[in-house]
């Protein structure tokens, strides 16, 4: 909005519920500033609550992200069958070829 104001461009809301905003007037700038401050405040509250919720979940032992398809047990099972085709092995383990190769070569 600062870029537009610097170029001499104002915002005029013609329809709305209750308040008309015209940033070319002092009252319109005030209303717009109040709305902007409230939006920033709400965004900060959401950020704080998200961080607090993640910390609380970690304290309870919860981990984020999805569970891995390839467990150490499946990794050992895949290494124990050297003469099996890769596609057959992947179907049997319920994983994709990419998952298998990513874990075998990591």
End-to-end CA distance of the chain: 48
Rounded Cα gap, residues 2 and 11, in angstroms: 11
1-16 per-position pLDDT tens digit: 667 667 778 878 777 6
Number of Cβ within 10 Å of residue 100's Cβ equals: 20
Q: Global pTM?
A: 0.53
37-65 per-position pLDDT tens digit: 999 999 999 999 999 999 999 999 998 88
């Amino acid at each position: 909005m600062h870029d537009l104001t610097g170029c001499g461009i104002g915002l005029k809301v013609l329809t709305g519920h209750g308040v008309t905003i015209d940033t070319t007037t002092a009252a319109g700038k005030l209303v717009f500033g109040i709305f902007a401050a409230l939006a920033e405040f709400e965004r900060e509250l959401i950020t704080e609550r998200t961080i607090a919720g993640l910390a609380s979940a970690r304290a309870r032992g919860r981990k984020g992200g999805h569970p891995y398809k390839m467990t150490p047990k499946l990794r050992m099972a895949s290494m124990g069958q050297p003469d099996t085709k890769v596609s057959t092995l992947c179907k049997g383990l319920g994983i994709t070829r990419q998952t298998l190769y990513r874990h075998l070569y990591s």
